[in-house]
Amino acid sequence: MARTQKNKATAYHLGQLRAKLAKLKRELIAPSSGGGGGGGMGFDVARTGIASVGFVGFPSVGKSTLMSGLTGTTSEAAAYEFTTLTTVPGTMTVRGARIQILDLPGIIEGAKDGKGRGRQVIAVARTCNLIFIVLDVGKPLRDKQILESELEGFGIRLNKKPPNVIVKKKDKGGLAITNTVPLTKLDHDEIRAVMSEYRIANADVAFREDVSVEELIDVIEGNRIYIPCIYVLNKIDSISIEELDLLYKIPNSVPISSRMWLNVDELVDRMWDELNLVRVYTKPRKSPPDYTSPVVLRRGRCTVEDFCNAIHREIFRQFKCAVVWGTSAKHPRGQRVGGDHVLEDEDCVTIFKR
């Protein structure tokens, strides 16, 4: 692929090679992830809380020290490498929401190919709602590139959204390719080559954004995980202010010191924003709202019905209507709504039964 010139004559050939490469990578990963679990003793973690955050990084970058400080859970920390050999779970409460923190063992280059139990570590990372890539400020860019490559090789896409491409298979009629935006990164020959490699002869392919061949392959494979990521640049107590200013230019990064506990508050605030959680307060009739223990929902699954089910599944079966106060309500005195009403952060809700 590196030796092939990219032009219209070679587009079909290159598209076919990229698709073959993606299929071979999938077959390489399949044996270890086919069971569907965390992948081995010490890697099966019971889910607690509304969301989970996984710490990924090389050995001895300060993951265990940060984990212990955030959760109070003892994760062994020492000056030598590979102190943590299994997944250590802990829980922290942020703005009334219980969030699970997973301290994963340090991974090494080649983890996606099975080195150093890397596959098991990355398999657990796939189940997280947010990933913290913990980096040493001494060599952040090189380590960042290697870790991203390891996670990408295991089907994890960091800080990306699923491509807006629809592939609808049909029984006959050949390939019908439509696009609502100009395609600058691939042409029809490459699309046909990829489809041919996946033995899709009859399908409607609709492009609603300009995507690359790799993104088209991701859509066809259908097993990619899209996870937000924060780059935690640890050990800032060992660098100068000028170097710290340069670190802030790395996108989605938060410089901290887990040893001296510097700037961790900013990290927790960024974590809350990335997790995209919605707090909803219950308001009993003729009583003030209960602000002490919010019902925490995930954005995209925060309707009144989701709110009822989060308290108890029986509630919605007897549901008549609800009155909502807050950002999602049209009136300051409250709005009467049905089960499909979408709630916003810090809304107050009163449920009426039949």
DSSP letters spanning 89-154: EEEEEETTEEEEEEEPPP--TTGGGTGGGHHHHHHHHTT-SEEEEEEETTSHHHHHHHHHHHHHTT
Torsion angle (degrees, nearest 10) of CA 102, 107, 113, 117: -70
Residue ranges of domains in the chain: 51-160+225-274, 163-221, 277-353
What is the pairing mode between strands 156-158 and 51-57?
A: unpaired
Token representation of residue 316: 């919605």
At residue 132, φ and ψ (nearest 5 deg) are -100, 115
Sequential pLDDT tens for the chain (354 residues)? 888 887 777 888 888 888 888 888 777 665 544 444 444 444 566 778 889 999 988 888 888 889 889 988 765 554 434 444 577 888 999 988 899 998 887 776 655 555 555 677 777 888 899 999 999 988 888 889 988 988 888 889 999 999 999 999 999 889 999 999 999 988 888 899 999 999 999 999 999 999 999 999 999 988 889 999 999 999 898 888 888 888 888 899 999 998 899 999 999 999 999 999 999 999 998 899 988 889 999 998 999 999 999 998 899 999 999 999 999 999 889 999 999 999 999 999 999 998
Nearest to 126 by CA among 71, 56, 63: 56
**What Cα–Cα distance (Å) separates residue 37 from each residue in 116, 156, 306?**
18, 16, 27
The CATH number of domain 51-160+225-274 is 3.40.630.10: no
Cβ distance 119 to 38 under 8 Å? no
Name the amino acid, one letter, at 223. N
**Residue range 277-353 in CATH 2.60.40.1730:** no
